Amino acid sequence: MNTINKEFIKDKVLLVTGGTGSFGKNFVNTALREYQPRKIIIFSRDELKQYEMSHQYNADDMEIIRFFIGDVRDRERLYRALDGVDIVVHAAALKQVPACEYNPIEAVKTNILGAANIIDAAIDRGVEKVVALSTDKAANPINLYGATKLCSDKLFVAANAYSGAHKTKFSVVRYGNVLGSRGSVIPLFRRLKESGRIPITDRRMTRFWITLKQGVNFVFRSLEVMQGGEIYVPKIPSSDIEMVAQVIAPGCEIEEIGIRPGEKLHEVLISKDDARNSLEFEDRYAILPSWVTVDIDKYQAKVGGTPCRPDFEYSSDANPETLDEDGLKRLIETADAESQAMATR
């Protein structure tokens, strides 16, 4: 990945929604250790998690960090929280697929209406840049979570058109499964290892993989280079689920239990329809807005990149970067080391 110019965040005020989650904690730690922000605001609705997170930092850190209790559903609270903020990273969401299916209105309120609230508050408060975290499930969605995140992505991209004379720019970051995050399949496999039996949905299933630290660095890089309107997708490896089970629990019996409702056999980060409006870079792809005429040649002349083939699709089963068993072991070890480093700070 290209080197990040860390000066662009120096003396800026950052706000992270969902800041007490796996991504938020790592993002805040990275900002503190590697950048020089003037202030970091952690915006979340769980006071216990904020309390626990506050005890991870020393007195010098707490001079910079602010904890702000609030919900992205609460428009007025967001307006208060974003006063004086330069950069917003929007990581708050309802993410569990079954929970979203059983509580669809709640998913809409948080993932879609919450996104709309972020957009309005950011524009009216004069925020410079907003990056929203998306998911591979937003590409050709088949479950409600993916559908709400696709809608959220569309809202953030469209926000660049109606920010008008305001300076706010909006972009989206979309990547795959995060190793070491809550909800990852790896902790599940480790818990089941002692039983001698690992259930997987389908031996053919493949997924993209990225570590938490890699995801955080990708967001920082996207904040640096964004022009507004892009959906950024990192180039990351993939593997099949059976190999993950074999690496985590060697010697265990692997049992196929069938694909669950709302689950795909393979994940897609860029669909063929999006490829027509996408550029390829050394470390990423950028999906440009398709609902307005975008001169890709002018955009390319400004920031670089190569147009993707019209029939291109970035899917986990056809990914040119496929992990073998050793590569997967190294990636999991890297994710474990990152998690341990964050836990001991």
Active-site residue set: 137
CA 104 to the chain's CA centroid = 21
339 vs 333: CA distance, rounded Å: 10
Q: What is the DSSP string of 321-342?
A: -B--HHHHHHHHHHHHHHHHHH
177 vs 66: CA distance, rounded Å: 29
**Parallel, antiparallel, or unpaired: how do β-strands 197-200 and 238-240 relate?**
unpaired
Angle (CA) 85 88 93, round 5°: 135
Helix axis angle for 212-225 and 325-343, nearest 10°, is 80
Look at the chain and count its residues. Answer: 345
109 vs 106: CA distance, rounded Å: 5
CA 216 to each of CA 22, 139, 269, 300: distance values in angstroms, whole numbers, following the listed order: 10, 21, 18, 25
Beta-bridge partners for 239: 207
Q: Which of 143, 41, 148 is nearest to 94 (CA)?
A: 148
Q: Residue 281 gets which letter from DSSP?
A: -
CA 179 to the chain's CA centroid = 12
Beta-bridge partners for 171: 131
Coil, strand, or helix at residue 163?
A: coil
Beta-bridge partners for 8: none
Q: Which two tokens stand for residue 218?
A: 């990708």
Q: Which of 120, 114, 229, 222 is nearest to 171 (CA)?
A: 229
266 vs 12: CA distance, rounded Å: 39
